[in-house]
Structure 1
Amino acid sequence: MAANSSKGDYHEPEYAKPQDKSKPPYYHTNIEHKIPAETHELLEKYSHIPREQHSEHVHKTRDQAWEIRSYPCIGLGSWLVPQLRRQPVYNEILQRVKAGGSVLDVGTFIGYDLRALAYDGAPSDQLYGLDIVNHFDVGYDFFRDRDSFKGRFIEADMLSPDAPELQPLRKSVDIVIVSQVLHQWNWVNQVRGAQALTTFTKPGSMIVGNQIGNVKAQEIASLGNNLPDVYRHDPESFTRLWDEVGKAVGMRFETQGRLRSFVEMGWDPNDAAWMDKGTRVLEFVVQRLE
């Protein structure tokens, strides 16, 4: 997911490029203590991996993923927490999928939320994962379900309107998951990204997820050089963003958002030590009304 050369128009942050583990403050050598009970259960009962092998399995997977992209969530181990399950609307999502609804996970990484849905009873052939770079094979190895998981993974840029792989999903997806994606960009590019998400929706569709936010909405400096600042939302600014998106695309949305602490997300609060003190996680549900 390398950034392109234009400062005002980029699809991936520069810091995502593979880098030495010793340099960034967000690579922790030992993340065994960050494996939650939910992940232990999934690895034991879904992937059939004995408990005593979990730590080695997790660290091997993390380092394989880091060699592809060096995102903070990879180095910190926060990807080990199933984020969709923490959404208040999770049961509604699960029931919609069981009834035949479809899910598209944008920025799916190794596809954890999709596996959690499958483990909880969702038919996996209704599940799609989209990412700009392929971590899918790492995911198959992590969950050991290459032959049993029937979902489809797509390597494509969501910002590309002409990507042929994405055309079958246009105007058809019931639930769009987008976590830890939009916060990579400034306001202008977040509007562009949100507009791209709307192309997968239809009236009644739901866009859910989370991203790094702040108690005070503001632009902050990007981690990468020669890149625009990134925008950190509070719930009010995020609603304004979707109001702007709705006007631009001729749709109407109802937006709900709340700020959660790292502890509430099941993450180590020390992992935010290198961030602004006002940093929180913005959890959101965007409902398309028309």
Structure 2
Amino acid sequence: MARFLDNLVTRSPAYSTVISRLQNGDSFVDIGCFLGQELRQIVADGAPTDHLHAVDVVNHWDLGYEFFRDADRFKIDLIEEDMMHPGPGLQALQGKMDIILVNQVFHQWVLEVQTDAAVELVKLSRPGSLILGYQAGVKVPRELLGPKGSQYKAFLQSPETWKKMWDEVGERTGMVFKTEAKLLTWEELGHDPEETAYMGRDVLMMEFVITREK
């Protein structure tokens, strides 16, 4: 579980901008929030809690309170819904989110589903919104298959295919996105590459910042 507790958001080149914008009243949603560790970091770094939202398909929130022992003081809007099939909680945020964090989510799907998920995700945005996060990435895009006998299949993207996907999302939605992405080694993130070798020696971490320009 330790890998999932990494506060990757603090490494983002947009992080100082995120904190500044939140301090000036911008809204923020963490898609796939898990225990809420990144939201807690954002609050610790000076963001008010008024416009922060946490979303996950499974509620780990109570476990987060247990882990961090802060149920009495950490109050954030939690939405237990599937981003692919938004319910009333996510629907209420559509067109209102200035900053969208989505860490380690897209790489679990095939490319078609990733694209459809991005189309759903941007319904939360408005012009000027930032979409940022991290996910597994590769220099040469390829499928990722599950263990022998498993039906699991996903698609690992390169920065180039990631940008192409967001261009397609723009075409499908009528929005315009500026996509910045790069690959980081596990050593750069402070991890032993042997810990992730099971995914393939070519798998790195992709850092991205996407700006909705229109």
Return the TM-score normalized by structure 2: 0.96
Instruction: Report what 2:4 is aligned to.
Output: 79
Q: CA 1:158 to 1:119, structure 2 compared with 1: closer, same or farther past 3 Å? A: same
* Aligned with residue 209 of structure 1, among 118, 133, 139: 133
Partner residue, 2:31: 106
Corresponding residue number in structure 2 for 1:230: 154
**Aligned equivalents of 1:169, 1:101: Cα separation in 2:** 13
Q: Which residue type is aligned with residue 97 of structure 2?
A: V
Please state how far the C-alpha of 1:136 moved relative to its aligned partner. Answer: 0.5
For residue 262 of structure 1, report the CA deviation from its aligned partner: 1.2
**How many residue pairs were aligned?**
213
- 5+ residue gaps, structure 2: none
Secondary structure in structure 2 of the residue aligned to 1:133: coil
2:124 to 200, 203, 219: 200
CA deviations on 1:148-190 (whole Å, 9 max, x unpaired) are: 11211111011114x1121221100010000100000011000
**Which structure 2 residues correspond to residues 115-264 of structure 1 after superposition, within 5 A?**
115-161=40-86, 163-223=87-147, 225-227=150-152, 229-264=153-188
Q: Which has the higher contact order (CA 8 A, sep 6+)?
A: 2
Q: Distance in 2 between matches of 1:151 and 1:216?
A: 39
Structure 1 Cα separation of the partners of residues 199 and 157 of structure 2:
14
Return the alpha-carbon distance in structure 1 between the equivalents of residues 44 and 108 of structure 2: 30
Structure 1 residue 268: deviation in Å? 2.7
Find the residue that maps to 2:135 and give its secondary structure.
strand
**Identity fraction in percent:** 39
Match of 2:203 among 254, 279, 282: 279
Q: Matches of 1:159 and 1:80 in 2, distance apart?
A: 24
Give the RMSD, CA atoms, in angstroms.
1.2
Deviations 1:80-134 (CA, angstroms, capped at 9, x unpaired) = 3211001011000000001001110000000111000000110012211100001
Per-residue deviation, 1:145: 1.6
Gaps in structure 1 of 5+ consecutive residues: 1-73
Match of 1:40 in 2: none
Alpha-carbon distance, 1:226 to partner: 2.1
Give CA-to-partner distance per residue, 1:219-251, whole Å, 9 cap, x none.
222358223x31111111100010011101111
Confirm or deny: 8 A CA contact 1:81 1:266 kept in the other structure: no
Q: Considering only CA atoms, is the larger Rg found in Structure 1 or Structure 2?
A: 1
* Moved segments of 4+, more than 3 Å: none
Alpha-carbon separation, structure 1, partners of 2:115 and 2:48: 32
Q: What TM-score, normalized by structure 1, do the two folds share?
A: 0.71
Query: Residues of 1 paired with 2:79 and 2:69: CA distance?
Result: 19
